């Protein structure tokens, strides 16, 4: 059964506002999105039992996305409180494990969970279904060659593979709902809150030996997007739902991709006032021999990361500009000074917010 927690005051709801459901409403993205959408919409947040409640602007419905019965119970609550008309379902809930290890939870939660949700929504009047996909579904490119929504797909591990499979499920089973597949770059904000960025900063901050080596082309990199810009793009997607195509994929990311070397040098200068020397290490050497043992001693660096260290992603966001009137206002390189300043001001808090183990120098 779905559990309901109504955290708004009686009479606080504007019944003239259209309804939006946000799944994964208690996460970093979901929390920020609920606050923004609540300015113009009534919001119901769906999330797992036991997760923190979403912001007070939303009614919380706890459910199990792997259970059709639980999903139906949650939607029964929505129908009872708001009716059967739903402007948009923004589907953020998914399984993610940065270890890169295979897991049946990708299929159970991300793929089949979405199928369960789509099936239950067929009995409601839903204008739009928005899915949070990832840029990692694409075949990597080379610097200067941008990836459009029509570029080849080549997911390389379970997480992006589950996103591709789920996109196919949506295409086949969305019914009369419009569908928008937002292919989102790596998300960050002024606090960091990005696993790869936080760990890269951590290695340099702690002057770890591994921070001077990279097992790929240091001129390559991944694409990112600031949390505020991502929220702007989703809000625009919901607002423009009647003008968008019945089904469309849209890239959401910054138009420039910083290279690994550029990030290293910038972080080093911000922390220590000088460039941080970084050397390319051949992948076979990184994975074998005594040197590899030292490298893999870093709890964050995994063999699968070494295999994909050469991958480069660079997005063409012209479709987002055209359809959503959206382009990012932030750049990761410009935001790094703020991220580093927060680290310097309160290292312990920064480490905790980014779920990093405190070094011995701070763990007192």
CATH of the domain at 171: 3.40.50.720
Domain tally, the chain: 2
User: Mean per-residue pLDDT for 336-352?
Assistant: 97
Q: Are residues 93 and 105 in the same domain?
A: yes
Check whether residue 276 and residue 147 sit in a common domain: no
By DSSP bridging, strand 125-134 and strand 85-91 are parallel
Q: List pLDDT tens digits, range 202-241.
A: 999 999 888 898 888 999 999 999 999 999 999 999 999 9
Count Cβ atoms within 10 A of the Cβ of residue 56 and give its class: 0-12 exposed, 13-18 middle, 19 or more buried: middle
pLDDT of residue 10: 32
Asked if residue 107 and residue 216 are part of one domain, the reply reads no
pLDDT tens-digit series, residues 55-73: 788 898 999 999 999 999 9
pLDDT of residue 215: 82
Residue 321 covered by a domain: no
Domain end: 212, 237, 252, which one? 252
27 and 45 assigned to the same domain: yes
Strand pairing report for 58-62 and 42-47 = parallel
Residues sharing a CB contact under 8 Å with residue 135, sequence separation 6 or more, in sequence order:
147, 183, 184, 185, 186, 222, 223, 251, 253, 313, 315
* Local structure of residue 192 (DSSP, 8 states): B
Separation of CA 301 from chain center? 20
* Residues 156, 107 share a domain: yes
Residue 320 lies inside a defined structural domain of this protein: no
Q: How far apart are CA 114 and CA 295, in angstroms?
A: 38
Confidence of residue 15 (pLDDT cuts 50, 70, 90): low
CA atoms lying within 13 Å on the CB side of residue 38: 20
In a domain, 363, yes or no: no
What is the rounded CA–CA span in Å between residue 221 and residue 5? 42
Q: Can you tell me the distance from the alpha carbon of 289 to that of 287, in angstroms, rounded to the nearest whole number? A: 7
Is a pLDDT exceeding 90 seen at residue 306? Answer: no
Tell me the HSE value of 146 on the side-chain side, using a 13 A CA sphere: 14
- pLDDT surpasses 70 at 6: no
The domain boundary residue, chosen from 236, 252, 268: 252
Residue 296 scores a pLDDT above 60:
no
Residues 67 and 14 in one domain: yes
pLDDT, tens digit, for every residue of 146-162? 999 999 999 999 999 99
Average pLDDT of the segment spanning 156-174: 97
Q: Where in the sequence is the domain holding 207, given as residue range(s)? A: 195-221+257-312+331-353
Give tens-digit pLDDT for 174-186.
Answer: 999 999 999 999 9
Distance CA 345, CA 353 (A): 13
| Model pLDDT for residues 271-292, shown as the tens digit of each residue | 999 989 998 876 665 554 434 5
| Residue 168 is assigned to a structural domain of this protein | yes
Same-domain pairing of 180 and 207 = no
Q: Do 140 and 209 reside in the same domain of the chain?
A: no
Q: What is the pLDDT of residue 11?
A: 34
> Tens of pLDDT along 104-138?
999 999 999 999 999 999 999 999 999 999 999 99
pLDDT band at 359 (very low <50, low <70, confident <90, very high): confident
Are 142 and 209 within one domain? no
* Calpha distance 363→335 (Å, rounded): 27
Percent of the chain at pLDDT above 70?
Answer: 86
Does 292 lie in the same domain as 232? no
């Amino acid at each position: 059964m779905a559990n309901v927690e109504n955290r708004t005051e009686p009479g606080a709801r504007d019944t003239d506002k259209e309804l939006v459901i946000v799944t994964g409403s208690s996460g970093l993205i979901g929390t920020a999105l609920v606050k923004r959408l609540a300015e113009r919409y009534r919001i119901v947040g769906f999330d797992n039992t036991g997760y923190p409640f979403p912001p007070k602007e939303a009614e919380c419905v706890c459910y199990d996305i792997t259970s059709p019965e639980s999903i139906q119970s949650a939607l029964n609550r929505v129908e009872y409180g708001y009716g059967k008309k739903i402007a948009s379902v923004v589907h953020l809930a998914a399984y993610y494990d940065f270890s890169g290890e295979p897991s049946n939870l990708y299929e159970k939660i991300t793929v089949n969970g979405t199928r369960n949700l789509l099936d239950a929504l067929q009995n409601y009047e839903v204008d739009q279904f928005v899915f949070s996909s990832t840029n990692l579904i694409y075949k990597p490119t080379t610097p200067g060659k941008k990836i459009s929504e029509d570029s080849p797909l080549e997911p390389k591990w379970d997480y992006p593979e589950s996103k591709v499979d789920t996109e196919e499920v949506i295409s086949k089973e969305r019914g009369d709902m419009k569908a928008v597949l937002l292919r989102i770059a790596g998300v960050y904000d002024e606090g960091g809150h990005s696993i790869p960025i936080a760990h890269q900063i951590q290695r340099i901050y702690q002057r770890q030996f591994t921070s001077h080596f990279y097992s790929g082309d240091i001129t390559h990199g991944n694409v990112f997007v600031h949390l505020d810009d991502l929220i702007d793009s989703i809000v625009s997607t919901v607002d423009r739902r009647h003008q968008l195509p019945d089904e469309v994929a849209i890239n959401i990311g910054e138009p420039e991709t910083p290279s690994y070397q550029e990030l290293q040098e910038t972080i080093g200068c911000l922390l220590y006032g000088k460039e941080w020397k970084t050397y390319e290490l051949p992948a076979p050497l990184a994975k074998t021999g005594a040197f590899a043992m030292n490298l893999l001693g870093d709890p964050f660096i995994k063999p699968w990361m070494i295999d994909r260290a050469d991958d480069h992603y660079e997005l063409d966001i012209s479709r987002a500009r055209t359809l959503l009137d959206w382009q990012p206002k932030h750049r990761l390189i410009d935001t790094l000074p703020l991220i580093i300043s927060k680290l310097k001001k309160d290292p312990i808090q920064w480490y905790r917010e980014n779920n990093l183990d405190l070094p011995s120098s701070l763990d007192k």
